[in-house]
Structure 1
Amino acid sequence: MNHRNVPNAGSGGTLDESATSVRTRLGRLHVRSTGTGTPTVLWSSMFVDSHTWDRMIPLLPTGRRYLLVDPPGLGRSEALDHASDITGAADAATDLLDGLGVHDPVDWVGNAFGGHVGFTLAARQGVLRSLVAISSPAQPVAPALRRQISILLPILRAAGPVGPVRSAVLTAMLTDASAADDAIRRVVEESMGRPTRRSMALAVRSFILNRVDVTGELPDITVPSLFVSSDDRGDWTPQDAQAAADLVPGAEAVVVAGARTLVPLEQPEEVAAHVRRFWDRLT
């Protein structure tokens, strides 16, 4: 396990961060850990990695062990060698928790892909204590987007996230204002550059194209849940998030303005405020 200090924008000091790699059925997952206390998993979106949480972590409360995960095949996690699906990723998440020695239910915060994994885990007994799903449509990929991805996938597999692939990802992930911010855009571009081309292509097939409709499973979620939508993502509008929340007993839906898909990266202060209020109600 590697240790290092990273800037803590919230206090002006540093966060003591460690990193490790945990064996799962989808390869070894890279995990960064900071803080002690209630285990709290943050699982990022497709195409990017755990650094999309870095602007928000210092704004969250102490007394928690934050586990920032690079999803299967992404970031510094081991390259995927076969296709999978969201259920497979959820199974890998339980492997991860076992490997980290976390045996009590965790608070789960998932962005897009991370929220999809969270939906599945939240329907299983005893895995999660609570769920925050951010910009995570319960429906499968729309036909038009599926066609676009199918066209771009061979380019991604052959050349990586360059040219039209890079442009499409940035457009899908960030508002124009966020994409014009060098620091925000750099996080996305550096994240896209870490996986191998084959691993990224397998991740797209596994966790985007193979994603299924989980609307019918939402009523099976029994843990406290918060669904966070943005005002600029067409496939999970505030109305969609509220409709999903209406299916989950006691769930709440909130909207964050000025963001698209990577809401914690684009608007960390507002997302952190919603998450803190939600967690306060758990105690």
Structure 2
Amino acid sequence: MASQATTRRVLTRVGPLHVRELGDGPPAFLWHSLFVDSSSWNRVERELADHRRLVLVDGPGHGKSGDPGHRYTQSDCAVAALEVLDTLGVTEPVDWVGNAWGGHVGIIAADESRPRLRSLTALGTPVHSYRPAERLRVALLAHAYRLLGPIRYLTDGVTEVQLSPSTRAEDPEAVALSNRCLRTADRHGLYNAIQSISLHREDLAARLPRLALPVMFATGRDHSGFTPDEAAMAIGLVEGGQLEVVENAAYLLPLEQPRRVINLLLDFWKSAT
């Protein structure tokens, strides 16, 4: 049975980050997707905490975390994650689990700070930088959000991308969580995050052949930004990499298909050496 969660605020180069710890055992570090926060792990964290000491972070500008007051990069986020682990006294290599944004940060951490990671799981994480049409769409969304805030047109648009059609039709709790995270986010902090790590995100393909640890990519069958074919091409650049395609899911795999994600993680962690 997982122990009660503890929370703290850790000062990092990307601002003060809200961190939760839950469970016992070898450490696992979880970083969520853009537009949601660490509550997006709620459906998987209790069972995972029976097997791992979970460290769950709210990224800058999300959830209960602050904003650094300046632009930052995915590499800055990777350093900040290590600052969190150092503050918590976690010296053992971690099993990194990142959803979209968190997967981007994890790939960089695995490339630049290999000894700190035991394994890497990237869920719904496009490795390419934005294509021109994608960049324009996100830039317009960011501009509208800055001016108007989380109006329904924007929250509905984000949810339509993040969640699969079946989730939107059959899982009102998942839809409500996605909408709530966007509605309650600090407007300045979230806008800064969109500008810093979404519009200017790095193309990570060149880093993939350098990853020298167990790696699993998983993507949703309905993920328009990282299709199964694109995921197969990406994992082909990682020696020994594992690919899983999750049905009835898009970006937010831990929220949409928690049972599948739990099983994938426990099996992967068991096999990772």
Identify the structure with the greater helix proportion.
2
Task: Output one character per residue of 1:24-47: Cα deviation in whole Å (capped at 9) or x when no partner.
Answer: 011111111111121101100001
Q: Report the Cα distance in structure 2 between the residues aligned to 1:104 and 1:148, rounded to whole angstroms.
A: 41
Provide the aligned length of Structure 1 versus Structure 2. 271
Query: Contact 2:16–2:68 at 8 Å: present in 1 too?
Result: no
Q: CA deviation at 1:178?
A: 1.6
Residue by residue over 1:170-228, the C-alpha shift from the partner in whole angstroms, topping out at 9 and shown as x without a partner, is: 11111223223221112112212332111111000111101021101101110101000
- Higher mean displacement: 33-42 or 78-87: 78-87
**CA contact 2:73–2:197 (8 Å) conserved in 1:** yes
What aligned pairs does 1:1-283 form with structure 2 within 5 A after superposition? Answer: 15-60=3-48, 62-124=50-112, 125-180=114-169, 181-282=171-272
Contact 1:76–1:194, Cα closer than 8 Å, also in 2: no
Q: Percent identity?
A: 37
CA distance in structure 2 between the aligned counterparts of 1:154 and 1:168, rounded to whole angstroms = 14
Asked whether the equivalents of residues 231 and 259 of structure 1 are also in contact (C-alpha less than 8 Å), the reply is yes
The verdict on how the C-alpha distance between 1:267 and 1:217 changes in structure 2, with shifts beyond 3 A counting, is: same
Aligned-residue Cα RMSD (Å) equals 1.5
Give the TM-score, by structure 1 length. 0.91
- Distance (whole Å) between structure 2 residues aligned to residue 222 and residue 72 of structure 1: 28
Q: Report the CA distance between 1:63 and its aligned residue.
A: 3.6
Q: Deviations over 1:16-75 (max 9, x none)?
A: 111111110111111111111211011000010001111012332624111111111111
- Cα–Cα, structure 1 residues 79 and 61, in superposed 2: closer, same or farther, change >3 Å? closer
SS of residue matched to 1:42:
strand
Q: Give 1:145 shift.
A: 1.6
Does the aligned pair in 2 maintain the 1:59–1:269 contact within 8 Å?
A: no
Tell me the TM-score normalised to structure 2 length. 0.95
In structure 2, stretches of 5+ residues that fail to align are: none
- How much has 1:159 moved relative to structure 2? 2.6
Q: Note if contact 2:8-2:18 (Cα within 8 Å) is conserved in structure 1.
A: yes
In structure 1, what residue type is equivalent to 2:135?
A: R
> 224-233 or 91-100, which moves further after superposition?
91-100
Structure 1, unpaired ranges of 5+: 1-10
2-structure distance, mates of 1:136, 1:223: 17
